[in-house]
Chain A
């Protein structure tokens, strides 16, 4: 195993990536075709990496669970992508983007990584434009920008509300070009179920063909995981239904440390759940908070009334009341927590689920009065239409209802500056790693990170790893390969043949989701987390006793797919709670109720918790390793939104 060392370069911050690149070993163009690289996942990170490695001349094998690489969940990102171009001449710079990102993450990420991200941001835009990504433009023909997520500069590039789609299709196009060239060999509808380690190095993967159920091994010189985040651990989230932790969890169980698993972002403006059949939640752009006013009834007896019949004096505009300076524009985590506490008090509105109404109003009536319905329509028309199509209610007439939902996970596989995990030859890119967002992610920076990893960082660091190693050819008959295949088959066998099959995968998924949502969601405390750890342990044993999968494993079987993913979410859920328990401070999105200031703001404890939690898998329980974060260039500050 590689040492637990961040491998961060030294010297002036501005020159670190350049210097590091120079120190990396290269592989000459004519030799690149001798190397084989496996890429799992084809979202922004995976597709951009496949394209870049293919163009460079490597042999790439890629896999995704979707029926096409173009469908990865990056496609659903709405807002935009940040870059410090300073086109608006409003004082932006690499330094400012770096500072905003690290401050947004509440000082729980590495300076060197984030500075590199900010440096690469500009080139991402150049790249995307050259691929034909139709970004918004001014009448002059120049690129347009907007301010996003509360930043004081306009640095966000966007393609209406579909920036993720357009960037992904750009990367998918480039990847398709490389598939046509034969340098990338792609297989859709296949899921990674095991990683193959030989002499401590990642040398391949075991895949299940989701159509036929065939299990096959694929060997290479190294493996890169671009498999996204794990918000679906909560069952209800804004992630696509198929998003899962299985690839990252297999890596973790084979020795890759999992970093900051409890750092999950919960987005305040989602369409609330309406009943027990709810299968996912839909995000509505945060921009709605620019003009909408958030309120709940002052009196519980008003909660089931038509909101238009509730008198002005009986409305509690609670964010305006609690945070007069920032009001409805407080950061995501503060808004989410306030919404939850209102609903916990019993002042929520909307459908009753488990004896509670989960929703508050987001009201546009005053702005419609002021600006006129036409102006509002121009600005928010598509969002209002989307809301209407989901809920059947017209937000021009009745206030919208919103409730928070899990949206992004800052935690992920621990990686060093080269994006390599603690397993030699196993890399992680995009949301699958933990590297850049600390304890909270700023808006419009997820797309930036996925593409920086895939287009610019991993292609260099993977080459360096290959150039410095020696790779004996591995045959598919190698005992380790066979052992990995056997492990996968026996696990599937256990899923198909539980001793007392009784409950579906969704049953268990909802169970683990509701435990995590209650104990490891927006507000956490010691007691609830300790109880959750115990409940999840019990749930895990119940799962393996009574999971019921119908149909055959040698077939297209979505029930089996779900069962395998839920088994991993249960184990990850346990680690999320253990991590949240360890961190006796509030920072970023992680709010421990015992460590909140009276104002509701997070109380960070840099002295005792200024580290990255990197968890090692151990049969007897997770073992914590700490990567201390040293701030050489900036001074951590505390935020105050009062």
Chain B
């Protein structure tokens, strides 16, 4: 398979960027999307050029490091998938690929396709935890948790913090990310105690970081690689009203 790649190249946060076009040839259909970029970088090294910087780590869809907007879609068009889980056979009908970083003011571009997602860490630091210290935990089975609640908590807790929800949102809102964490703890008796304060703190932090608010476009749940539902946002808003 042959592809024409238009890749966003940008030296650093303060410089201007632009698309640069590359051709890659003879790509096997079982090659993953990121391996295709590895291949391009090997070619760039051969030519003595600086490689395209892009984020990746586990390459199995769980660490949340990889990003990329591919032909306008964060993590590509395929549903419930991170970029690292895309294969070139998914692009059998396309010859031209536009590859961009996450676009959001709160996620400044570091270089090329890599952005800074530290605002997510600071949102968690503002309250995305249960305030328990090591050593003070009671015997685990002294705290019973309704199975449905535990399953519901799990469905929210699987957020990988990739930031696709922000990248796709017209408001660059981090509401889905924030709401998933809030709802995870809200479902559990040991987390519920701090729920309201947690929600207030995390939302304040989200606003301070410059993320927008939710206005119900619901694009976030469509691109979320873990299919986290926007109903989490409703739970979050209810907590604020309560």
Q: Which residues of A contact B (CB under 8 A)?
A: 48, 51-52, 55, 66-71, 73, 75-76, 85, 87, 123, 125-132, 134-143, 159-160, 162, 165-166, 169, 172-174, 176-177, 179-180, 188, 211, 238, 240-242, 274-275, 277-280, 282-283, 351, 389-392, 455-456, 459, 504, 506, 548, 550-552, 555-559
Contacts and interface: CB of A to CB of B under 8 A. Distances in A.
A69 to B, nearest CB: 7
A279 B34 contact: yes
A548 B45 CA distance: 7
Contacts of A55: 133-134
A259 to B, nearest CB: 27
B150 A135 contact: yes
Given A138-B147, A141-B146, A176-B124, A66 B62 contact: no
B242 interface: no
B140 interface: yes
Given A137-B146, A240-B58, 16 more contacts: A67-B118, A76-B62, A76-B63, A85-B140, A131-B129, A162-B158, A165-B160, A174-B134, A179-B121, A188-B121, A241-B57, A455-B134, A459-B134, A556-B110, A558-B51, A559-B41
Of the listed residues B46, B59, B146, the one surrounded by the most CB atoms of chain A closer than 10 A to its CB is B59
Nearest to A53: B134
Contacts, number: 214
25 contacts: A48-B134, A67-B116, A67-B117, A70-B64, A126-B138, A126-B140, A127-B137, A129-B137, A132-B185, A141-B147, A143-B141, A174-B129, A176-B125, A176-B129, A240-B63, A275-B28, A277-B39, A279-B35, A389-B85, A391-B30, A392-B29, A504-B42, A556-B110, A557-B51, A559-B45
A127 to B, nearest CB: 5
B150 A134 contact: yes
B59 A130 contact: no
A70 B128 CA distance: 13
B65 interface: yes
A129 B28 contact: no
A173 B147 contact: no
B49 interface: yes
Contacts of A555: 12, 50, 111
Contact of A165 (B39, B138, B158, B191): B158
Interface string B48-60: 1111010111111
Nearest to A126: B137
Given A52-B134, A132-B190, A240-B59, A550 B48 contact: yes
Give chain B's interface secondary structure class: loop
Of the listed residues A67, A125, A141, A455, the one surrounded by the most CB atoms of chain B closer than 10 A to its CB is A67
Contacts of A135: 150
B188 interface: yes
B65 A67 contact: yes
Of the listed residues B30, B60, B118, B185, the one surrounded by the most CB atoms of chain A closer than 10 A to its CB is B60
Nearest to B161: A70
B62 A173 contact: no
Contacts of B157: 132, 134, 159, 166, 169
B140 A179 contact: no
B190 A129 contact: yes
A75 B63 CA distance: 6
B224 to A, nearest CB: 15
Interface residues on B, range: 35 or more
Contacts of B35: 277-279
Contact of A125 (B60, B62, B140): B140
Of the listed residues A70, A85, A548, A552, the one surrounded by the most CB atoms of chain B closer than 10 A to its CB is A70
Nearest to A559: B51
Interface string B183-217: 01100101100000000000000000000000000
B165 to A, nearest CB: 16
A333 B158 CA distance: 31
A556 B28 CA distance: 29
B236 to A, nearest CB: 16
A236 to B, nearest CB: 11
Contacts of B12: 555-556
A155 B62 CA distance: 25
A277 B35 CA distance: 6
Contacts of A557: 50-51, 53
Of the listed residues B120, B140, B184, the one surrounded by the most CB atoms of chain A closer than 10 A to its CB is B140
Nearest to A136: B150
Contact of B144 (A48, A142, A159, A274): A142
Contacts of B161: 68, 70-71
Of the listed residues A132, A169, A211, A242, the one surrounded by the most CB atoms of chain B closer than 10 A to its CB is A132
Nearest to B45: A504
Contacts of A556: 12, 53, 110-111, 114
A136 B87 CA distance: 32
Given A71-B64, A160-B154, A280 B59 contact: yes
Contact of A392 (B49, B51, B89): B89
Nearest to B48: A550
A51 B154 CA distance: 23
Contacts of A160: 154
A173 B198 CA distance: 13
A211 B110 contact: yes
Contacts of B134: 48, 51-52, 55, 127, 174, 455-456, 459
Nearest to B120: A68
Contacts of B118: 67-68, 188
B26 to A, nearest CB: 10
Contacts of A142: 141, 144
A279 B153 contact: no
B45 A550 contact: yes
A124 B182 CA distance: 23
Shortest beta-carbon contacts, A-B, top 6: A141-B144, A173-B129, A551-B50, A130-B137, A126-B137, A556-B111
B240 interface: no
A455 B32 CA distance: 38
A85 B139 CA distance: 10
Given A134-B150, A556-B111, A76 B60 contact: yes
B102 to A, nearest CB: 12
B130 A240 contact: no
Given A75-B58, A139-B147, A132 B48 contact: no
A351 B31 CA distance: 13
Contact of A137 (B64, B129, B150, B158): B150
B126 interface: yes
Contacts of A66: 57, 63, 65
B63 A71 contact: yes
B78 to A, nearest CB: 8
A421 B133 CA distance: 28
B81 interface: yes
A207 to B, nearest CB: 17
B114 A392 contact: no
A275 B89 CA distance: 14
B137 A123 contact: yes
B210 to A, nearest CB: 18
A70 B28 CA distance: 33
